[in-house]
Amino acid sequence: MVNYKDLGLVNTREMFKRAIAGGYAIPAFNFNTMEQMQAIVQAAVETKSPVIMQVSKGARNYANAQILRYMAEGAVAYAKELGCEHPEIVLHLDHGDSFELCKDCIDMGFSSVMYDGSALPYEENIKISRQVVEYAHKYDVTVECELGVLAGVEDEVASEVSHYTKPEEVIDFATRTGCDSLAISIGTSHGAYKFKPEQCTRDPKTGKLVPPPLAFDVLHEIEKKLPGFPIVLHGSSSVPQEEVDTINRYGGNLPDAIGIPEDQLREASKSAVCKINIDSDSRLAMTAAVRKHLAEHPDHFDPRQYLKPARDNMKKMYIHKIVNVLGSNNRLAQC
Ligand SMILES: [Zn+2]
């Protein structure tokens, strides 16, 4: 049993309280590789932002659970070495799909876990969520649960259609599970293809797809039911078209990849939404930089030659999100 506090990590409780009061959101960036971890820490330190580093079940399968845990511990040490004396880094399990997986993460030093029972019948979701919360709270680990179903594909999580969260259920759900934050479905979606072209309109000037707006009416109704309660948005990459264009220019094939416009995320950040999950944008930033570098330097074969620009490009994207979209810069309790 490893307690996250011994690793220098923090849970989300205080962070979310401040985010709601301050009208901003904490970035939750997924990581699988050392370069992603370095870019996330560099961006968080330079902007003095709290940050959630999250690990999906797919990431655990790819990188190995122990390695990711030590990387998060290393992230704290790295942030300090970069000059941040009191970094606020959360190690969070993204989309835990069983009590056992959540328990395993808590036991190995995660400071926060998500239990995602959103695909289960309502009562079953409550039952297992409650079980995870009871275990987690013994160790002061915070728990995110989910109501409503997001469309799209993300690692093991996939759904054809979305179901918005029903505002009339949230009080009952939050009370009976005891969860610390609630992931809701208001039209965000997993992956780099968040919407089908037929759900969108096309900008006549650029020919690019314009996605349907998020359901802010549902969000505001939920906020009214649960005043001051931390809300989480999954699937909130913006799929920057310049990265998609770079990928396509250098041999990629991502037609009509589309995300959530950043102005909508900025608006959501000002509400009770205090955690915004961004994964695909990092994948796109990495792939765009690697493709461009290899196309321009066909003689390069040292991975450091193409992973360095990939890391720099991800860092630029993380800083942009923190400063221009979520507003979490300069929000550390102590510098
Ligand atoms: Zn998600």
Q: What is the pLDDT of residues 195-238, one digit of tens each?
A: 888 888 888 888 778 888 999 999 999 999 999 999 999 999 99
Average pLDDT over residues 305-333: 98
Mean pLDDT for all residues in the chain = 94
The Å distance, Cα 134 to ligand 1 centre, comes to: 23
What would the mean pLDDT of 302-306 be, rounded to a whole number?
Answer: 98
pLDDT at position 158: 63
**Whole-number pLDDT of residue 90:** 98
Surrounding ion ligand 1 within 5 Å at CB are 234
Output the CA 94–ligand 1 centroid distance in Å. Answer: 7
CA 190 – ligand 1 centroid, Å: 6
Region 292-312 average pLDDT: 98
Name the catalytic one among 94, 97, 155, 279.
94
Question: SS3 letters for 30-61?
Answer: ECCCHHHHHHHHHHHHHHCCCEEEEEEHHHHH
Q: What value does the mean pLDDT take over residues 118-122?
A: 93
Q: 161: CA distance to ligand 1 center in Å?
A: 14
The span from the CA of 182 to the CA of 168, in Å, is: 14
What is the predicted pLDDT for the residue at 263? 94
Angle of helix 122-138 relative to helix 99-107, nearest 10 degrees, comes to 20
pTM for this entry = 0.95
Stretch 231-253: mean pLDDT, rounded?
Answer: 96
Position 155 scores a pLDDT of: 61
Residue bearing the bigger pLDDT, 202 or 109: 109
Cβ atoms of 182 and 171 closer than 8 Å: no
Mean local confidence (pLDDT), 15-23 = 97
pLDDT tens track for 136-163: 999 999 999 999 888 776 665 666 667 8
What distance separates the 2 farthest-apart alpha carbons in the chain? 61
Using alpha carbons, list the distances in angstroms from residue 236 to 31, 192, 193, 287, 314: 15, 10, 12, 18, 16
Question: What is the CA(158)–ligand 1 centre distance, in A?
Answer: 10
Order of strands, sheet of 157-159, starting from the edge strand that comes earlier in the sequence: 157-159, 151-154, 189-190
pLDDT-derived band of residue 128, with 50, 70 and 90 as boundaries? very high
Would residue 94 show up in a list of annotated catalytic residues for this protein? Answer: yes
Q: Residue 251 gets which letter from DSSP?
A: T
* Exposure string over 12-32, b if 16+ CB within 10 A, otherwise e: bbebbebbbeeebbbbbbbbb
